[in-house]
């Protein structure tokens, strides 16, 4: 009995070659709509689905494969009772189902897409065939991914049949395909009902494994990297590694921290990260200037760190980077000259994030797992603009002071709490991160900055609960402090700043990062 395959695909990658291979193996092909047209124009023998069902496509193509002669052929098991019923009703077995679905994700991603257009791109017949074939994978092979075409053809040529194990694997992939499709639709519809910024009633997480990593934070922990199927071009996950060793779990964590800090600025910026904290961050007129200033902030800690630049890495910058040991360099892209220069550092990973329409967009929500559940919060986007700051001391900041404080405030947002940053106008001088009390963070940042604290600027991610940190800053020669404010002891803190002749600014926005 001749084997039959039904083919109906939105993504037509490789479908002509695959269909030709099936015909050469003796398969009879059934197809629909655009897929039929592609195969017919390629002179591949194929039957239109209406030839099989004896019923035309109706309702603008909404109904074509939803018919007993199709679904009976897919769902039938090779048992006596089913064979008898199929013979009585003129149903033939369908052995192979090749289907992928209407481009719903691509449709809702288009600017200005209407609700009506989105609804029209919800596939009904496709998922029904996929699920039917996946349910009956004991007999039927289902394919939803063009990457599997060659593998299946090779197996059919070598053995004449697809093994039970492979059919089961392909069925699991098919159910994952329809589950992700339904997740997208449900999420889209829920967003039409919920207020902007609301949290979804059901948190649906779908991500594809890209690779297994060597290990997690420690060698005894296994790890893998997954990509969110909705990640936009210009996001870190959609980037491309150009050279170097495989990325590790800790590399990814530090790359995220570095990229977020570099992207905080519209001006040319560089950040050098160790253990998710910046050991150096700076602005510059060129990538080289920004990088050199960031390195000068703490050249000892920078060893073995992660660099991020928000501009394309050019030749001069690559020459400077080449002189030190780093794990990864992250940037929008690398010039051919810079790649040639850095190619001699075989283990150095170069990671080009690329650009897209949404290259400045971050996810709206962020997740953290806890025992048996998830914490979900909005991403801490942006920060308080200068025109909303409150100048609460007798001495007021100049325009130059405001620019320096803005730089310090944007950097401290990316330091682990309790966070203190000491800067000049364009460069970090000292960073105090992750201490159990704010006084300890001030002490570390001031000591690291050394003599450069004279006339420098200090930023704190949260309020100062007591005047002691202000007194330490004054002893070091700090000119101005930026902090959220909000402590019950604010009057005492302000009084200390006035007494010690320090400028202080309140932003009324906290940037804790636990």
Three-class SS string for 222-244? Answer: CEEEEEECCCCCCCHHHCEEEEC
- Angle at the Cα of 284 (from 281 to 285), degrees rounded to 5? 165
Q: Rounded distance, CA 73 to CA 136, Å? A: 11
Q: Rounded distance, CA 32 to CA 56, Å? A: 11
Q: Rounded distance, CA 219 to CA 232, Å? A: 31
Confirm whether 275 is a catalytic residue: yes
Inter-residue contact 59 to 80 (CB < 8 Å): no
The CA-based dihedral angle spanning residues 315, 316, 318, 321, taken in that order and rounded to the nearest 10 degrees? 180
Q: Rounded distance, CA 341 to CA 330, Å? A: 16
3-state helix, strand, coil in the chain (%, to 5): 40, 20, 40
- 120 conformational bin, left if phi > 0, alpha if psi -120 to 50, beta if neither: alpha
- Angle at the Cα of 459 (from 454 to 460), degrees rounded to 5? 130
Closest CA to 129 of 269, 35, 199, 209: 35
Q: Rounded distance, CA 277 to CA 434, Å? A: 9
The H helix count followed by the E strand count for the chain is: 19, 21
Chain centroid to Cα 488, Å, comes to 40
Tell me: cis bond preceding 293? Omega within 30 of 0 counts. Answer: no
Bridge partner list, 28: 4
Catalytic-labelled residue, pool 135, 245, 322, 425: 135
For the chain, report the end-to-end CA distance as a whole number of angstroms. Answer: 65
Catalytic-labelled residue, pool 275, 292, 403, 425: 275
Classify residue 258 by its DSSP letter: H
Torsions phi, psi for 308 (to 5 deg): -130, 135
Taking CA atoms, 507 is separated from 300, 460, 469, 504, in Å, by 32, 10, 18, 10
Task: State the chain's maximal CA–CA distance in angstroms.
Answer: 99
Q: In which element (H, E) is residue 369 found?
A: strand 365-370
Q: Rounded distance, CA 287 to CA 313, Å? A: 7
Inter-residue contact 274 to 302 (CB < 8 Å): yes
Q: Helix, strand, or coil here: 470?
A: helix
β-pairing verdict for 4-9 and 96-100: parallel
Active centre residues (catalytic): 135, 275
């Amino acid at each position: 009995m001749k084997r039959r395959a039904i083919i109906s695909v939105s993504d037509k990658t490789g479908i002509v070659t695959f269909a030709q291979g099936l015909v050469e193996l003796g398969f009879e092909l059934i197809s629909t709509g655009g897929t039929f047209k592609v195969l017919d124009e390629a002179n591949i023998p194929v039957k239109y689905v209406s030839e099989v069902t004896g019923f035309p496509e109706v309702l603008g193509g909404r109904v074509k494969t939803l018919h007993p002669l199709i679904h009976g052929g897919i769902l039938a098991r090779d048992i006596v009772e089913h064979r008898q019923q199929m013979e009585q009703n003129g149903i033939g077995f369908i052995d192979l189902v090749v289907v992928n679905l209407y481009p719903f994700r691509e449709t809702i991603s288009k600017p200005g897409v209407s609700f009506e257009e989105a609804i029209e791109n919800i596939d009904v017949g496709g998922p029904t065939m996929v699920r039917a074939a996946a349910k009956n994978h004991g007999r039927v092979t289902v394919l939803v991914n063009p990457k599997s075409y060659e593998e299946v053809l090779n197996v059919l040529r070598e053995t004449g049949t697809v093994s039970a194990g492979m059919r089961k694997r392909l069925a699991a992939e098919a159910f994952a395909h329809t589950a992700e499709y339904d997740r997208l639709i449900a999420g889209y519809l829920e967003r039409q009902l919920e207020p902007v910024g609301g949290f979804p009633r059901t948190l649906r997480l779908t991500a594809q494994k890209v690779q297994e990593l060597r290990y997690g934070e420690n060698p005894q922990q296994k790890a893998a990297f997954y990509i969110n199927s909705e990640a936009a071009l210009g996001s870190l996950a959609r980037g491309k590694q150009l050279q170097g060793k495989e990325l590790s779990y800790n590399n990814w964590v530090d790359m995220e921290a570095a990229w977020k800090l570099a992207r905080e600025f519209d001006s040319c910026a560089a950040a050098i990260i160790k253990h998710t904290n910046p050991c150096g961050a700076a602005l510059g007129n060129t990538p080289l200037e920004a990088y050199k200033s960031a390195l000068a902030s703490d050249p000892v800690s920078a060893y073995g760190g992660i660099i991020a630049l928000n501009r394309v890495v050019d030749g001069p910058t690559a020459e400077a980077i080449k002189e030190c040991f780093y794990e990864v360099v992250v940037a929008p892209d690398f010039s051919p000259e810079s790649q040639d220069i850095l190619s001699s550092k075989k283990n150095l990973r170069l990671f080009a994030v690329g650009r897209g329409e949404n290259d400045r967009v971050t996810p709206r929500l962020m997740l953290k797992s806890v025992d048996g559940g998830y914490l979900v919060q909005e991403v801490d986007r942006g920060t308080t603009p200068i025109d909303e700051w409150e100048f609460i001391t007798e001495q007021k900041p100049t325009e130059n002071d405001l620019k320096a404080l803005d730089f310090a405030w944007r950097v401290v947002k990316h330091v682990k709490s309790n966070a203190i940053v000491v800067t000049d106008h364009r460069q970090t001088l000292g960073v105090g991160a992750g201490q159990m009390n704010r006084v300890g963070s001030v002490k570390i940042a001031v000591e690291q900055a050394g003599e450069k604290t004279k006339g420098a600027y200090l930023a704190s991610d949260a309020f100062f609960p007591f005047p002691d940190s202000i007194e330490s800053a004054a002893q070091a020669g700090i000119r101005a402090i930026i902090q959220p404010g909000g402590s019950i002891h604010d009057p005492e803190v302000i009084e200390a700043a006035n007494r010690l002749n320090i400028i202080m600014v309140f932003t009324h926005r906290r940037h804790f990062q636990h």
